[in-house]
Structure formats: structure tokens, C-alpha cells
Amino acid sequence: MREITSLRNQVDVWKNLAQRLEDTLELAMMEDESLIEDIQSETEAIEKIVEKLEFETLFSEKYDNENAILAIHAGAGGTEAQDWAQMLERMFMRWAESQKLKIEIIDYSSGDEAGLKSAMVSFKGEYAYGRLKSERGVHRLVRISPFDSSNRRHTSFAKVEVWPDVAEEIEIEIDDKDLRIDRFRASGAGGQHVQKNETAIRITHNPTGIVVSCQNQRSLTQNMQVAMNILKSQLFDLERRKQEAEMANLKGEDVDAGWGSQIRSYVLHPYKMVKDHRTNFEVGNAQSVIDGNLDGFIEAYLRHTIGEVTTGSESE
């Protein structure tokens, strides 16, 4: 029923657009000068709709219109990397707010002195996964360290994982014998409803080594349900990517390393620039990107995946 509703909504958009085009053409054919302003205004509105529809054609994969779960992990480097991981979390939050996506923090582990060690966030809304899948990989930051009294330049890394939130739509059997379940006390940015007793859950799937934790719900049962749903989605996504890699090998294509590849560099010193190493798309206004201006990178990645040349830059 959800798929039918989605398809019906897509068809309705095109039907409405066709009707507006027809109405505008009829006005233009009347050759009434008093209608010129109305025709121009409607033409501009139609152009914006067409641009949006053209962009949406880039979301061609099956799960692009699903909600997304994004995880951030600080790399080696202690406080430096943990601060960078928190900067990335803020960047994705700001971007999601600008896109009117619903955000929910699922799990959060604070850094030892600053920043965060890891965080897991749910993004719900139109094409959430289709857009955020471009962020999967290693993000690199070069800057003068605010934690170094000698003001030396440091390079920090953080890994971002993204997968579609499809737990409610798939059937995956998980053997209880394959799981190790740990309970612990919630900590970090959990919110006012997190209990002080051991309500947080950590699930380890022994065959794959996948570890999932959840601490942001009100009860142990709720945290368990959310964690199991995330585990199901991760197992599904792991299998899906394995199949894609095998198919690419059969076709003789290069397989993106995905999880371990450095996809983007954010340079704040000695110059300012953010560059995506997959598409060569770059932006000189690095602070704007860190503040959530990711649309240029997302569109460049989507066009790159369908074979369009995306080399270029975005004006400041």
C-alpha cells in the first residue's frame, strides 16, 4: 500500500504539471498583453518544478526513497578525530534541517575530552537514503588544531556509514545463538527520557561482527526493538552490497572500496577548500559546507554514478 501511494503521488505530480503547461499555453495563445505577467510568473514556477523532477530522476536505485540511518565513527587521533566526528554530525544535522527531514539520535558516545566517539542518527523524509548514500566513506579534515598549544596543523579522519532503513519491509531470520546482547547505562546526548538504570542495549552479531547499540528510547524493550531493526537493516545492506560487488566483478568493473575509501577532504589550512575525490567537485567556501551546504556534492555524486561528467566547482 505504501508503494502504491508513492507511485500514485509521482503520477499525480506529472499530471498536474501537464495540466499547468496546457493552461499556460492556452493563455499564451490568447495574445493578450495584460496576461504577460501572469504567464511569465507561471512559466518560472513550472521551470522550478521541472528542475526538481529532473533532479529526482537521479534517484534510480530501488531504495533511494527510503529513510536512512547514518553512523559516524571517529578515526585514530583521540580528541582531534572525536572533535571532527562531532563537526560532521553537526554538518549532517544542519543539512537535514534545511531539507525538512525528521532527525532522531539513536545512539551517541561522547568523546573523552571533546567531540564524540560515535553516533547513530535516523533521517526520515523524501529520498533520505538516496541523498545521504553519497556520504558513505572516510572524511578527512586538515586544519590548525584548536587543541594543540603549538598551533600545529593536524589531519583527522572519521568514517561515515549509511544504509536504508528497510527493517519493516524485509524478512530476515536472525538466530538468537548468533547474538551477544549487553545491557548498560545510557550516557551522552540521550535526552531527558533516558533512564539512569541499565536500559541501553548493545547487540553483537557474531558471524559478521556487526555491533549495534541503542540508548535513546525510554525503556529496555524499546531500545531492544530499535537495535534489532537496525541490525536487520545492516545485514540486509551488507548482503545487497556483496551482490552488487559480485555483479561488478562479473562485468569487469572496478569495485569501490566503500567503507574504507577516502571520499572527501575538508581543508581549512593553509587554504580553504572541500573536494570530493570521486567526482572532483570542489567548493572554496569550506565553512559553508561544514555548515550543511552539501547539495552540490550530493548532486555531483548522483550524476557521477550514472556516468555523467561532474568535474567542476561551486561558486562561493
Highest mean pLDDT range out of 21-25, 57-61, 164-168? Answer: 21-25
Q: What distance in Å separates the CA atoms of residue 194 and residue 158, rounded to the nearest whole number?
A: 27
More confident residue, 103 or 245: 103
The amino acid sitting at 60 is S
Query: 165 with 69: CB under 8 angstroms?
Result: yes
What CA dihedral angle connects 41, 47, 50 and 54, to 10 degrees? -150
pTM of the model: 0.76
pLDDT mean over 57-71:
90
User: Most confidently modeled of 88-97, 212-221, 235-244?
Assistant: 88-97
Task: Work out whether the CA dihedral 125, 127, 132, 136 comes out positive or negative.
Answer: positive
Which of 95-104, 194-203, 245-254 bottoms out in mean pLDDT, i.e. has the lowest?
Answer: 245-254
Model confidence at 101: pLDDT above 70: yes
Q: What is the pLDDT of residue 253?
A: 44
Adjacent-strand bridge partners of 163: 69
Cell of 19: 495540466
Question: Could you tell me which residue, 316 or 44, shows the higher pLDDT?
Answer: 44
pLDDT for 188 equals 53
The 10s digit of each residue's pLDDT in 228-272 is 999 999 998 888 888 777 756 654 544 343 445 689 999 999 999
Q: What pLDDT does 312 receive?
A: 63
> At residue 94, does pLDDT exceed 50?
yes
Other CB atoms within 10 A of residue 27 CB: 14
What is each CA distance from 176 to 94, 99, 136, 220, 259, in whole angstroms? 38, 39, 29, 18, 27
* Cell numbers representing residue 308 in the block: 555523467
In the structure, what pLDDT confidence band is assigned to residue 166 with cuts at 50, 70 and 90? confident
For residues 128-155, average pLDDT: 91
pLDDT of residue 62: 83
pLDDT at residue 261 in the model: 66
Strand partners of residue 140: 157, 265
Give the bridge partners for 171, in sequence order. Answer: none
% the chain with pLDDT above 90: 59
Mean predicted confidence (pLDDT) in 289-299 = 96
Residue 192 pLDDT exceeds 70: no
52 half-sphere exposure, CB direction, 13 A CA radius = 12
Which is nearest to 89 in space by CA: 291, 296, 302? 291
Q: Of 95, 129, 99, which Cα lies nearest the Cα of 233?
A: 129
Dihedral in degrees, nearest 10, Cα atoms 88, 233, 68, 182: -50
How high is the mean pLDDT of the chain? 87
Instruction: Give residue 254's pLDDT.
Output: 44
